[in-house]
Structures are given as structure tokens and as C-alpha cells.
Amino acid sequence: MIAAPAIVEAIIRRLGSAVVLQPTGDRIPTVWVKKDHVHGLLHHLKHEVEQPYKMLYDLTAIDERMRTHRDGQPPSDFTVVYHLLSFDRNEYVRIKVALAEARLSLPSIVDIWPAANWYEREVWDMFGIVFDGHPHLQRILMPKSWVGHPLRKDHPARATEMGPYQLPPEKELAEQEALRFRPEDWGMSRARDDADFVFLNVGPQHPGTHGVLRIALQLDGEEIVDAVPDIGFHHRGAEKMGERQSWHTYIPYTDRIDYLGGVMNNLAYLTAMEKLAGIEVPPRAQVIRVMLAELFRIISHLVWYGTLAQDLGQMSPVFYTFNDRERAFGIIEAICGARMHPGWFRIGGVAADLPHGWESMFRDFITYLPPRLVEYDREVLQNRIFKGRTIGIGSYTVDEAIEWGVTGPNLRACGFEWDFRKRQPYSGYEQFEFDIPTAQTGDCYGRAAVRAEEMRQSLRIIEQCVNNMPEGPYTSDHPLATPPVKARTMHDIETLITHFLSVSWGPVIPPGEALGAIEATKGNNGYYLVSDGSTMSYRTRIRTPSFPHMQMLALICRGVMVPDLIAILGAMDFVLADIDR
Amino acid sequence: MTSPYPMFSILGMLFGALTIAAGLIWLERRLLALWQDRYGPNRVGPFGLLQVVADGVKIFMKEDWIPPFADKPVFILAPAIIMLTALLSFAVLPVAPGIIISDLNIGLLFVLALSSLGVYSVVLAGWSSNNKYALLGGMRAAAQMISYEVFMGLSLMGVVLQAGSFSLPAIVDAQRELWFVIPQFLGFVLFLIAGLAETRRTPFDLPEAESELVAGYHSEYSGMKFGMFFVGEYLGVTLISAMITVLFFGGWLGPILPPIVWFLLKTLFFISCFILVRASLPRPRFDRLMSWGWKVMLPLALANLIVTGALVLAWR
């Protein structure tokens, strides 16, 4: 990096020689600072610099103990990584802190960003790094009784490495005791001066939570005094799996992160991967990707539309929207051969060319859907009871949204026109014409209206894709593109071996780091990948939009009633796998 | 006008009411499916009609489980109450001239009284289940019933004033010239809404609101006890539809077809309306429902009563 970005110079001016710079594949300024400086620096970046970094985009860690390619990086056993986002600069900055295994602690930044609360808990849960001054440093994704920290390299990745599961009676009792609900553990008091509170356990099995989410409610009558989400029931170790799957075979796992988003997840993962590998995706592949990703945005929003109406007691729309979704899946199936989780994008392109007749399928859908959307607007959005249930419910301001890391339609519902497809175009989005729908209210109705309009914009993008589909290859001819090009094999033994290795082991991605972030169905989905020059990722960090959204729940549902909680959850549009990974 | 063979009428009415209530399970599922672009039950028997039998067999065979933490006697009593009150109301329902079990001269009051008693079923079920969701459902039911009961009775007083009687056959007879739905249109609308609330159907299904309270007051019920709540609800729907027919749409009156057919057709029409409402509307929030009941519906019902009273007085 020859010309250091302005922010790096500012950090160097502030901290002097204690700062180490690290070049990365994604060109995000990456700065190593000392543990004692990090709290002050982050505060400075959020509050004092010009064009401040208002959003804590992500906070995670890397277990560096097994990493071999660490050229120019300070010695570190565990590295804590902060990703900050500045909307004014339209830039990220990455701050890294090196920790020695003997002293795994650093100051908490919950006092700077309340959103850091869950992220720091997750880092503690996964790596055992202590954040001094954290108000409630407990396990968040793993069960309370779990032994060890799963994302450490010495923690087994497969059940077969762990020995058979035993449940002796005393352990059973201890496990059950760990499940006992004590309001004090959740930061709740049992009574107010004159009355006792009711504690209502919503979930993990509850029709209104859209999955295995648990919320402990502190109720005064039907009014919510406090609500504490308890997550982790859907945790499947997606990040750990990233460390034992090859770069190529991890693609289908990403489908299951936001399981309504299908190939949209592939796109996020591959955006990061291709930055890391330096692969240019050919135009046709880019447009195919955009077209399918936008179709999945519609699919995801259709599910959200129907289920929101159902959460509010309206029985029918969910059947209509699921019917439409079925049509969209017909197209997905014709192209990809699978429906919800096609895993169809490949490193450097897509799995196959579009089949014959794909245009007419899309054109049918483009003419079919708009009248249906008008019908749903009349049935749901314009319904007076629906309005009564959503207007003014669960509202937050732009500042609050940024403070808590809210992205996507939930951010745009507050009137902030920020769409990563426009602001940081990827996969050729800069070539498309579309509007960014916003709402001004920041309440449940605003979120609903934004999503309803987004479907129309996605249709516009798809139409442009259909009309302007470029000719050419559907996958890159870069040597790391997977599967490798068949024409290059069978010439001599060398080409045969190379082909065999890149098919059986998959590509070897050069060492480095990259963050790839896209505007996914629910907000910003980012993959932060660390390669150690192997066939597998060294660290796969998945930043999902639903995680910070859910963290905000307590803030926006204090003082509302139980039915409003369901409206807030419905309008938030989260997916449990997207929260728990 | 009571039938000369009372046992015959009683058995006929009991059988008819239960058959209709059971048939409604099929009808509702088929109609909802029709409006929601799907098929509904169509495998068991012709048009899926025997689905009801299959459901009945299933529900009878289920383990009759009472949660250990429940208040056992009350828990058992609660579903019985809803069946009992709903079925008793049918005693005063005039299906056709001569087909009525008991022509009480206070028939209308009898029906209103029994429907008020019906709410005990829901409240007691919510209370005795000893489950917070059930309790919340029961509390909502109690509040909702109190609010909507008041103007339910008031909305019918216009009809009583015009007919000059509380007896249901007399009210039907009074509509030979003109169905009461025309002079009492406001009363009809109010009664329709109150009737929806009384049967706890969408948009007034807050006591069981499945997306919020899981299943509300009957969360802990299973097997035939749950089935009784279910049948009780359909009996309620049938009863309210029959009452609308009797009070506002001339009961059995109608040309050409036999009176009983007219009565059944009209009742069926309103039952279908109830199902259509369920297919289309979302659920308002509990507190708004209450304030709407007290602040809008009640004053309207009172105004309706006063205006009708004044007009009737002036007419005489």
C-alpha cells in the first residue's frame, strides 16, 4: 500500500510507532494497535475524527497459533478484529489487537458501542477472550454448561473427535439446573413496589418467533417491562465448519446461513473469496449472479410478507405469497436444479450456463408478480387493522439504528438511504438502474413498506438482466476458478495432475485476508476470510444482519404489549440460522 | 306452538345442531382452502366429507391427558360448560313453525344469558390450566366478553321494541311485512360484530391468538376436551348465525321453498360470512379492541336504542 488512506495517517499521528500496518486483499485499511490503546482509539474514531466511523460493523477474533503466513504482522496468539464502518467516508477500517495466550483480556467497548455487547460475548464464548468491564460476559451461542471454546484451533471440529456423549445423573441434574430461570441472571427484578412481575418464556418453541428463538419477557399485565432474547439454539458451528471444508465445498454451507436467501449467501462468500484470490468474474456470470440473487431477495421478502401478516392474525396472505414463491422456485429449479438451497455459484462464476427458455420464464414472472404485489398492498399494507398494529410500533431513529449496527431495509425504514448495492457496488450492480426505497418513520410499518417496495425494485433489476444478458463464458478462466476448465487437462501428465488436484482438493487460495460484504435480503451480510495458503480457510467469519437486529430487540420493545412484540419480530425479518450461524 | 312430541324435537335439534357443528369443521376448511388457492381436505370420502369422521375418531382415541399442575375438577368442567351453554341456547331457537323445543316468552333473554355463561368456560379453562399463556388468554376472554356483551344485548333491543316481544317465534312473525334488517340495520351490524366477538372468531380471537399466546386458553387441552372447545366454537357460530337469521332476516320466512330450508339456507349464508371474515382480516390489538367496544360500539348501540324507542313511541 503506497498511499496510506487518510485515516491511517490520522491513527499513526495519534499513536506513533506503536502502530503496524497490514496490507490486505480487500484494500480495507488494516491497523494493528496495542491493547492499551484500542479503547481510546475506537472512541476517537467514533466521536472525534472528522467523518467518524459511526457503526461497529463487526467484532471478532482469530486464533493465530497455527497460522504460518503472518508476514509483517506483530506476534499474536489471539487477535481481536474490529471492523468499523463510516457512512460519511463510505469506508471500513479494520483495527486489530494482538493478545498473548497467557493474558487473554482487553478492555470492553460496550460503553462506546452498546452493540458490542453480544459481539464480545460471542468472542468470549468462541475464543475465551475476556473483555474487562463487560456488563454480562456469558456464553451466548453455546450452552452455559459447554466446556471449551469452539473456535480455538485445539477444539475438535467433529463430534467423532470428542468421544461418546455421556450423561450421568449428576450431569443431568447440573444441566437441568443450568436451565432454571432466575430473573436475576437476566438482569430483571422480581417485583416493583406494589406488584410482582409475570415472567413469560416465549420460545424456543413458539409460533411467533419464526424458529428456535427464546425471549424472556418481564411483564406488568400485558405490558413488556423488559425483553431479553436468548439465542444460540440454532447454532451449528458454521464458522468452524468453514475451517474444515475446502474453499469450494463450503459454498453449500453458506446457503444455510440465511436459509431464505439461497444463492445470495453464495454471493457474499464468493465476493470475499474472489477478492482474496484475485479472480475477475466474467460479465455474463456477474449478471446471472445478480439476476438470481435478486430473485432470491423477492423470494425471501415474499416469505416475510406472508408471515408478517400471519403473525398479525391475518390468515390468507401467507398462502398467496407462498404460491408466488413457488413460481419463483420453479425458475430457480429450472436453472439450478435445486430450490431453497441451490449452492449454485462457483468460485469465479456459476455452475452452468442458463438453460434454454430461461428468458421466457423470467418474463412470465416479471409480468405475473406486479399485479399480485398490488393486491397484497391492498390486502395487508392498506388494511386499517394492519396499520393499527404496526404504525408507531417498535420505532427507532437513524442514530439508534447506526449505533446498534442495523443495516438493510431496517435501516432504510428510518429514512437513511443506504444500500450497499449502490454505495459499494459489487458484482456489477453499478450498471443497473433501480431506486432505493426508504420510509421516514422507522417503525414496523416503515419496515414493511420498504420491503414491499424492494420487491418491485428487484423485479426492475431482473428485467434489466433479462434484457441485457451479455454473451460470453459463465465462469472465469482464472487458474483458481473451480471447477477448473476441462479444456486445460489431458494434454500431458502435468495438466492432468493439476486438474485432478484442483478437483479433488480444490483450489489453494493465496495467503491473505479479505472482507466481502453485500446487501443481502435482511441487511449487510459479510464474510471475513483469512487464508493461510491452504485448500481450506484458516478463519471464516460470517457477519450476519440478523444478529445485531435481534440484539436491538430489548431496546425497541420496552413498554409495548405482547402482541406488539410479535409485530416487531415479524417486521424485523430475521432468520434464526442467520443469528446463530 | 310447541311441538306435540317434545322428545322428537329435542333429539332432532340436538342431532341437527351437532351435525351442523361437525360439518362446519369440513365446511370451514374447504371454504378457507377455496379462498386461499388450495384444496383443503379432499381425500377421505366424497369431497373429503368423511374427514370429520376421521378427525372425530382421532380425537376420541387420543390420550385424555390432564397436566399434573392443573386444577383438575375445574379443568374438566370448563369444556363441559361451553358445550352445555351452546346446546341449551338451541332450545329456544325457532327453526320453522312448530319446530321449536320450548317457546319461552323470554327466549331472547335466555339466549343472551346463556352466552354470558359461556364465557366462564374460557375463563375457567385459562385459570385452571395453570399456564401463563392460558391465563393471559383467559384474562383477555373475560375482558373481551364483558365489553362486547353489553352492547350485544343493547343492539337487539331495537328488534324487541319493534316486535314487542322477547319470544323468538313472535319476532319472526313480526317480520312478515319487512325483515328487521332494514329498519334495524345498525342493530344488525352491531350484533354481527358482537356475535363475532362472542364466538371468539377472527378478528376477535384474541383469547387464543395463536401467533401470540400459542393456543391461549386451551393450550393445555388435548383429546376430546380440546374437541369440545372446538365443537363449542362451531356451535356458537351456528347459533349466532341462526340468531341473525331469526332476528333480522325473517327466520323461516321465504317464498316457495319449505320454511326449514329457508332457515337453513340463511343460516348457512351467515356461517359462510363468518368464515370469510376469518379468511380476510388481521387481529387488532387487545387494548384497541376494548376501547373500540366501549367508545364506539356501545354509544352507537345506545343511540340506536333511543332512536328506535322514540320512533316506535311516535308511531303508536
> Hey, is A93 helix, strand or coil?
strand
pLDDT at position A269, please?
92
Q: What are the tens digits of pLDDT across the range A542-556?
A: 999 999 999 888 888
For residue A204, is the peptide bond before it cis, meaning its omega torsion is within 30 degrees of 0? yes
Average pLDDT over chain A, rounded to whole? 87
Cβ neighbours of residue A384 closer than 8 Å, sequence gap 6 or more: none
Q: What are the tens digits of pLDDT across the range B243-260?
A: 898 888 887 777 877 888
Under 8 Å between Cβ of B263 and B96: yes
Measured distance CA(B316)–CA(B312) in Å, rounded = 6
Under 8 Å between Cβ of A543 and A525: yes
Under 8 Å between Cβ of A262 and A333: no
Measured in angstroms, the CA of A327 and the nearest CA of chain B are apart by: 14
B36 touches chain A (CB under 8 A): yes
Q: What are the tens digits of pLDDT across the range B98-110?
A: 777 777 788 888 8
Q: Please name the member of A379, A385, A563 whose beta carbon is closest to the beta carbon of B203.
A: A385
Q: Is the dihedral of CA B248, B253, B254, B257 positive or negative?
A: positive
Under 8 Å between Cβ of B125 and B134: yes
pLDDT at position A450, please?
92
pLDDT(A73) > 90: no
Measured in angstroms, the CA of A345 and the nearest CA of chain B are apart by: 34
Q: What are the tens digits of pLDDT across the range A130-146?
A: 998 888 888 888 888 88
Q: Residue A80 pairs with which residues in a beta bridge?
A: A61, A97
Q: Please name the member of A198, A313, A320 whose beta carbon is closest to the beta carbon of B202.
A: A313
pLDDT-derived band at B1, boundaries 50, 70, 90: very low
pLDDT(A53) > 70: yes
The CA–CA distances, whole Å, from B54 to A11, B14, B49, B61, B222 equal 74, 21, 10, 11, 16
Residue A106's Cα: distance from chain center in Å? Answer: 25
Q: Please name the member of A208, A314, A564 whose beta carbon is closest to the beta carbon of B281.
A: A314
Residue B1 lies in a domain: no
Under 8 Å between Cβ of A285 and A424: no
Q: At A39, which helix (H) or strand (E)?
A: helix A35-47
Given the C-alpha cell 410479535, which residue does it identify? Answer: A566
pLDDT at position A462, please?
92
Measured distance CA(A385)–CA(A412) in Å, rounded = 24
Residue B248's domain comprises: 6-315
pLDDT at position B123, please?
86
Task: Identify residue B2 by its one-letter amino acid code.
Answer: T
Domains in chain A: boundaries? 6-104, 246-547
Inspect the interface and report whether the beta carbons of B286 and A383 lie closer than 8 Å: no
pLDDT(A353) > 70: yes
Mean pLDDT of B185-201: 85
Instruction: Tell me the pairing of strands A91-99 and A30-33.
Output: parallel
> Hey, is A499 helix, strand or coil?
helix
The least confident of A190-204, A289-303, A520-534, B200-214 is B200-214
pLDDT at position B4, please?
62
Mean pLDDT of A223-242: 87
Q: Identify the architecture of domain A246-547 in CATH.
A: Orthogonal Bundle (1.10)
Mean pLDDT of A58-74: 87
Tell which residue, A290, A230, A253, has the closest CA to residue A470: A290
pLDDT at position A49, please?
82
B34 touches chain A (CB under 8 A): no
Q: What are the tens digits of pLDDT across the range A554-565?
A: 888 888 888 888
A198 touches chain B (CB under 8 A): yes
Inspect the interface and report whether the beta carbons of A389 and B202 lie closer than 8 Å: no
The CA–CA distances, whole Å, from A355 to A71, A250, A251, A333, A458 equal 46, 25, 22, 11, 22
pLDDT-derived band at A461, boundaries 50, 70, 90: very high
Mean pLDDT of A226-235: 87
CA within 13 Å, CB half, A458 = 28
Instruction: Tell me the pairing of strands A55-63 and A78-86.
Output: antiparallel
Inspect the interface and report whether the beta carbons of A313 and B288 lie closer than 8 Å: no
Long-range contacts of B18-21 (CB under 8 A, 24+ apart): B18/B231, B18/B235, B20/B234, B20/B238, B21/B231, B21/B234, B21/B235, B21/B238
Measured in angstroms, the CA of B131 and the nearest CA of chain A are apart by: 10
pLDDT at position A325, please?
92
Measured in angstroms, the CA of B92 and the nearest CA of chain A are apart by: 34
Residue A475 is given by DSSP the state B
Tell which residue, A581, A7, A573, A21, has the closest CA to residue A301: A573
pLDDT-derived band at B3, boundaries 50, 70, 90: low
Nearest CA in chain B to A205: B214
Under 8 Å between Cβ of A67 and A131: no
Mean pLDDT of A66-92: 87
Q: Please name the member of B205, B210, B280 whose beta carbon is closest to the beta carbon of A316.
A: B280
Measured distance CA(B5)–CA(B7) in Å, rounded = 6
Residue B263 lies in a domain: yes
Mean pLDDT of B51-74: 86
Q: Which residues in chain B are closer than 8 Å to A315, comparing Cβ atoms?
A: 32, 36, 202, 278-280
Under 8 Å between Cβ of B129 and B75: yes
**Percent of chain A at pLDDT exceeding 70:** 99
Measured distance CA(A579)–CA(A557) in Å, rounded = 19
Under 8 Å between Cβ of A564 and A217: no
Inspect the interface and report whether the beta carbons of A562 and B281 lie closer than 8 Å: no
A559 touches chain B (CB under 8 A): no
Under 8 Å between Cβ of A372 and A378: no
Q: How big is the CA angle at A264 (ends A263 and A269), to the nearest 5 degrees?
A: 90
Mean pLDDT of B21-32: 86
Count of structural domains, chain B: 1
3-state SS string over B217-267?
HHCCCCHHHHHHHHHHHHHHHHHHHHHHHHHHCCCCCCCCCCHHHHHHHHH
Nearest CA in chain B to A221: B136
Residues in chain A: 581
The least confident of A184-188, A418-422, A569-573, B140-144 is A184-188
pLDDT-derived band at A290, boundaries 50, 70, 90: very high
B277 touches chain A (CB under 8 A): no
Measured distance CA(A446)–CA(A460) in Å, rounded = 21
Given the C-alpha cell 414493511, which residue does it identify? Answer: A448
Q: Which residue did the predictor score with more confidence, A455 or B206? A: A455
Inspect the interface and report whether the beta carbons of A563 and B209 lie closer than 8 Å: yes
Q: Residue A96 pairs with which residues in a beta bridge?
A: A32, A81
3-state SS string over A317-352?
HHHHHHHHHHHHHHHHHHHHCCCCCCCCEECCEECC
pLDDT(A442) > 70: yes
Q: Which fold has domain A6-104?
A: Beta Polymerase; domain 2 (3.30.460)
Mean pLDDT of A469-481: 86
pLDDT(A1) > 70: no
Instruction: Kindly report the pTM of this predicted structure.
Output: 0.86
Measured distance CA(A456)–CA(A432) in Å, rounded = 14
Measured in angstroms, the CA of B24 and the nearest CA of chain A are apart by: 18
pLDDT at position A277, please?
87
**Percent of chain A at pLDDT exceeding 90:** 20
